[in-house]
Amino acid sequence: MILCKKGIFSLTCFFLAFFQVKAQNLAAVPYSCCTTGDAAVDIKHCGDDRLFVLDRSGIIQIVDADGSMRPTPFLDITSKIYQGNDEETLVGMAFSPDYKTNGKFYVYYVGDISGPTSIVEEYKVSGADSNIADLSSALTILTQPQPFEFHKGGNMMFGKDGYLYINFGDGGSPGDSAGNAQNKTTLLGKILRIDVSNSSVAQPYSIPSSNPFYNDNTGIRKEIWAIGLRNPWRASVDMLTGDRWFTDVGQNGVEEVNFEPANSSGGKNYGWNIMEGNLCFNPPAGCNTTGLTLPFYSYPHPQGNAIMGGYVSRSAQSKSLFGTYIFADFIAGWVDGIRQSGGANTETIHLITSAQAAVGHPLDFGEDRYGDLYILFLTHKTVYKLVDTSHWRRPKAYFTPVDQGGGSFLFRGLEGRNLTYQWLRNNVVIAGAVSPDYTTSATGTYALVVTNTLNFRDTSDAFSLGALPLNLISFTAQKISSGKIELHWKTDTEKNISGFSILRRQNNEATFSNIGFVKSKSASGNSNREIDYTFTDSLALTNSKLFYRLKIQNTDGSYAYSDIRIITRGGNANSFTFLPNPAKGQVQIFLDNFSQPQIMMMYDNTGRKIKEQLLSQQNTTIELPGLRGVYIVQLSNKDGGNIIRKKLVIR
């Protein structure tokens, strides 16, 4: 945490007492002061409005909903801490998913058991005071002797599966000369996955039978979920999807971000010390990469020197940041963001906060129950909140439909502070439905409108209650030969679907015409697998502008419409259209003749690239936070070929 690069970090610095930066549309604003020790290293929440701030000295403090920090510690285990170097401290914490009922939480620290030892302990909250832990409830879950000074890892988190994931570093020998990260008989250099739901003195934890090495009886530690890590200091779970993200601090050349989807079966080898990031390390060239999982994202030194993860922003306060994994570099000082779709990196947002703007060294991030993010800096005693400060910032309207049985649904809206909510049914306001959640059994198409204090609003995707809609994964239209247009779409979770009517509008036609029908391929109209469909239109006037949409037919006679797909005159590859132009805050980009992912780049009037994004669908919304003026938008194939440019005006 606060050391030299041989550990996680390493340098001597001077810091200002107040920190506020702005770059693009993200600012770090003081939220709570002041922590007790010399270095706060982690922030967690337990499901309510409080934040729990860990100091490496062994103290955990509570920040209340109003930002005030309680003077009495929630937990004080300073007497247990080894207090050697800056990593031999209290480093991690996780609350049980059932904390509201069982009061259990877990800490990771380095103590002294015949030398420095990583210790994971369970505690319970006091039955008399919810702001104080019961010290007498301490239960040792597991221990791991540490052979060297550095690389303790220390992150803990519960996955959506209810299991506890624990990150261990490789132990700290230079270049992992001890070979721990690739040795499956030790916990060092690994991510563990254990079950603590029935913890007891007799059996502190059990090993899930779904762990990747559970059935291996060759001496491999069955707790292991993944191998090949150097120092996975921080990790997080996407609060909406359950996907897991973790960073690994590099040695001499590369920093990396790793990504695991929620449905991963584990067993991945992330490469250390065969590789450092995406480069060979041992040997330095020509290494065997068979069976290794390369980083989701990496960057070289000296662009940065010690990566700090990181959470996916799920705050309802900012549509432009929603879904962005935000991370930082401790030594360089900047904050960056990346996005993913289908496990692929679709956008990199450099310098959300620049190194020049920052005056501190980012050490850790935190998340509250609303998805708002927080950040800690080395030696700062203040907790900072990351805030979208753009004057054009829009909220994010999002809800999850929960089937309660009997035709009743709970629409669980994404909640945020200082936002107002309005539910719609069939595009009509539902009187009194102004809470984030809404329960109904009435058939219709529902959407949620969210408005912020700037009076900007956002409308969620719609959900049809009745004959339930399918999940339309993709829908594209492209010219395949003279006089022919091919439509392709992919679905999953079809429920009560009879088929798809193909609708087309061309020339100056005012309405869509039905030009065909494709029957559902699912058994009895129900399926939980992905299904591909195609339809070829041979009768369209290909010298005209064509509009296509799907009418999704349900077995009870109800229906829903897809978005519209456009083919412009000629259907040339990489032709695209903006809507609107001029734009304000965001713009929709429609790709003509879409057949493969495209790279979109945006340049200002000085020729500086300000945005790059992978377009993997025919219709994509591009967020334009804080931008004004005239810009050039360039579209090309992923290999850089077939370039076309257009002018976009932003007001």
Rounded-to-10 torsion of CA 49, 398, 492, 567: -150
| Contact between 226 and 264 (Cβ < 8 Å) | no
| Contact between 55 and 41 (Cβ < 8 Å) | yes
- Pairwise CA distance, residues 47 & 241, whole Å: 17
Buried b (16+ CB within 10 A) or exposed e, 374-399: bbbbbebbbbbbbbbbbebbbbbbbb
Q: What is the pLDDT of residue 508?
A: 55
Farthest-apart Cα atoms in the chain, separation: 83
H helix or E strand, kind and range, residue 631: strand 629-637
3-state class of 524 per DSSP?
coil
Token pair belonging to 238: 């996407």
Amino acid at 356: Q
Q: What is the pLDDT of residue 358?
A: 54
What are the DSSP calls for 78-111, one per residue?
GGG----STTSSEEEEEE-TTHHHH-EEEEEEEE
pTM to 2 decimal places: 0.74
- Pairwise CA distance, residues 181 & 187, whole Å: 8
How confident is the model over 277-320, as pLDDT tens digits? 999 999 999 999 999 999 999 999 998 899 999 999 999 999 98
Distances (CA, A) of 473 to 413, 429, 592, 603: 22, 28, 19, 31
The residue whose two tokens read 């009495």 is 72
The closest alpha carbon to 479, from 638, 595, 589, belongs to: 595
Handedness of CA 340, 337, 297, 246 (dihedral sign): negative
Describe the chain by its helix, strand, coil percentages, rounded to 5: 0, 45, 50
CATH 3.20.20.70 is right for the domain spanning 399-465 = no
- Pairwise CA distance, residues 178 & 135, whole Å: 36
Amino acid at 178: A
- Pairwise CA distance, residues 86 & 10, whole Å: 10
Buried b (16+ CB within 10 A) or exposed e, 158-176: bbbeebbbbbbbbbbbeeb
Report the CATH number of the 22-388 domain: 2.120.10.30
- Pairwise CA distance, residues 554 & 532, whole Å: 18
Distances (CA, A) of 651 to 344, 459, 632: 32, 21, 14
- Pairwise CA distance, residues 576 & 591, whole Å: 5
The closest alpha carbon to 142, from 186, 85, 98, 87, belongs to: 186
- Pairwise CA distance, residues 164 & 96, whole Å: 9
Domain boundaries, the chain: 22-388, 399-465, 471-567, 576-650
- Pairwise CA distance, residues 215 & 198, whole Å: 22
Strands 133-145 and 156-158: unpaired
What are the DSSP calls for 363-380, one per residue?
EEEEE-TTS-EEEEETT-
- Pairwise CA distance, residues 437 & 194, whole Å: 34
Amino acid at 639: D
Token pair belonging to 329: 């570099």
Amino acid at 649: V
Token pair belonging to 11: 């340098």
The closest alpha carbon to 593, from 476, 478, 475, 474, belongs to: 478
First and final C-alpha spacing in the chain: 44
The neighbour count for residue 544, using CB atoms within 10 Å, is 15
- Pairwise CA distance, residues 425 & 527, whole Å: 27
| Contact between 395 and 452 (Cβ < 8 Å) | yes
399-465 and 471-567: identical CATH topology = yes
- Pairwise CA distance, residues 397 & 318, whole Å: 10
- Pairwise CA distance, residues 467 & 145, whole Å: 58
Distances (CA, A) of 380 to 87, 204, 335: 17, 36, 17
Report the CATH number of the 471-567 domain: 2.60.40.10
Q: What is the pLDDT of residue 271?
A: 97
| Contact between 18 and 30 (Cβ < 8 Å) | yes
- Pairwise CA distance, residues 542 & 564, whole Å: 17
The closest alpha carbon to 593, from 614, 564, 618, 613, belongs to: 618
| Contact between 464 and 444 (Cβ < 8 Å) | yes
Cite the DSSP H helix spans in 448-557. none
All residue ranges of the chain with pLDDT < 70 are 1-25, 85-86, 351, 353-359, 406-407, 466-469, 507-511, 542-544, 569-574, 593-595
Residues whose CB is less than 8 angstroms from the CB of residue 210 and which lie 6 or more positions away in sequence, other chains included: 265
| Contact between 473 and 482 (Cβ < 8 Å) | no
Amino acid at 604: D
CATH 2.60.40.1930 is right for the domain spanning 576-650 = yes
Sheet holding 235-237: strands in order across? Answer: 235-237, 244-248, 254-260, 297-300
Q: How many residues does the chain have?
A: 651
How confident is the model over 417-444, as pLDDT tens digits? 999 999 999 888 999 999 999 999 888 8
How buried is 579 (Cβ within 10 angstroms: 0-12 exposed, 13-18 middle, 19+ buried)?
exposed
Beta bridge partners of 339: 347
